[in-house]
Structure 1
Amino acid sequence: MSESHTYTTHVEWTKERRAALSSPSLPTIEVATPANFPGGHEGIWSPEHLYTASAEICLMTTFLSLAEKTKLVFKSYKSEASGTMEKAEKGFLMTRIHIKPTVVVAEESLKEKTVTLLEKAEKYCLISNSMKTEVTIEPNVLVK
């Protein structure tokens, strides 16, 4: 794998406080100012949603990589995340992202290993490590 990677995106204003976000070979999505800001829009991805989601997605993909390397067999992975924006001296900042991953395993004996891998994924997530936002996880491992 190369030591450097570039990811290209394009934003084109469409109307009001809305735009189209695109990248070569990816689907275009509508983005906008979030509804809680003046002129914001309900039901459209905002930078704040995408920022929160990037940490959540990175945790998952890092966990998937670690699970593959350690041959952890699991039945499902899902998560939810909340990003907190607060007014600070410099203006609004995303101060915290809290991620709640839930992993289902087949045996009780896999719970500890799964929690350990989730914690390692948090430690090695390159997106979270690139943020100045505090990112925390609350792992939940179920046996079914």
Structure 2
Amino acid sequence: MTTDNDSRSGRCPVSDHSFTTTLAWSGSTGVGYDDYSREHELTMASTATRASSDVAFRGDASLPNPEQLLVAAASSCQMLSFLAVAARARLDVVDYRDEAVGEMPESERPMWVTRIVLRPHITLGSPAPRAKVERLVEVAHRECFIAQSLRSEIVLEPTFVGLA
């Protein structure tokens, strides 16, 4: 990603942009749908209280930007949807982490976030068949409000710990 601006023209140089966020949750969906914690931590830049445009657009690199917030929303929604379907299916998820990346190529005009890659790392508290867990990831994707609201391609690349 190019971070320098062309100061002579006031325009951003031609480059592709990527926006990374991380997410972390721990608890247990084994306690049932009504009782597991939905609270989780999202990390974008160094803080989440103030925001700016991306540095490529003359913003502050230490603050989250709208594109990161979009990626974080997709990541958070996928996780919350997955925890819900896992709890309903009596699957005990004890840890969920994601390193999500949004891609915004400069070749697309007007520019837009064309692709969001979610890489959830899901840890189970008790063994479950891979096919069941993969199916629940897909169900969660279909039920994610954010994913259903975007035209961006959303790619899921999950990894699992604790499969049967």
| Length-normalised TM-score, structure 1 | 0.73
**1:76 and 2:83 equivalent?**
no
Kindly indicate whether residue 57 of structure 2 is the aligned counterpart of residue 30 of structure 1: no
What displacement does 1:88 show?
A: 4.6
Q: State which of 90, 99, 106 in structure 2 corresponds to 1:87.
A: 106
Percent of aligned positions with the same letter in both sequences?
A: 28
Counterpart-to-counterpart distance in 2, 1:54 and 1:106: 26
Instruction: Name 1:65's counterpart in structure 2.
Output: 84
Report the 3-state secondary structure (helix = DSSP H, G, I; strand = E; otherwise coil) of the residue aligned with 1:29: coil
Structure 2 letter corresponding to 1:35: V
Q: Distance in 1 between matches of 2:129 and 2:102?
A: 30
Q: Any stretches of 5+ residues in structure 1 without a counterpart?
A: 1-27
State whether residues 115 and 152 of structure 2, in contact with CA within 8 Å, keep that contact through their aligned partners in structure 1: yes
Tell me how far 1:118 sits from its aligned partner: 1.0
In 1, are the aligned partners of 2:85 and 2:140 still within 8 Å (CA)?
yes
**SS at 2:93 equivalent:** coil
Structure 1 distance, partners of 2:120, 2:128, is 19
Structure 2 SS opposite 1:63: helix
1:113 aligned residue: 132
Task: State which drifts further: 78-87 or 106-115.
Answer: 106-115
Greater relative contact order structure (CA < 8 Å, 6+ sep): 2
Map of 2:68 onto structure 1: 49
Q: Per-residue deviation at 1:41? A: 1.0
> Comparing both structures, which one devotes a greater share of its residues to strand?
1
1:134 aligned partner? 153
Deviation at 1:110, TM superposition (A): 4.0
Contact 1:115-1:141 at 8 Å conserved across structures: no
Whether contact under 8 Å (2:118, 2:157) holds in the other structure is: yes
Q: 4+ residue stretches of structure 1 with deviation over 6 A?
A: none
1:57-107: CA deviations, max 9, x gaps? Answer: 000010011011111112211111000012255321100000000111244
Q: Which residue of 1 aligns with 2:16?
A: none
How far apart are the structure 2 equivalents of 1:133 and 1:88?
Answer: 15
SS of 1:65 mapped into structure 2:
helix
Partner-residue secondary structure (3-state), 1:40: coil
Structure 2 length-normalised TM: 0.65
Q: Distance in 2 between matches of 1:66 and 1:36?
A: 39
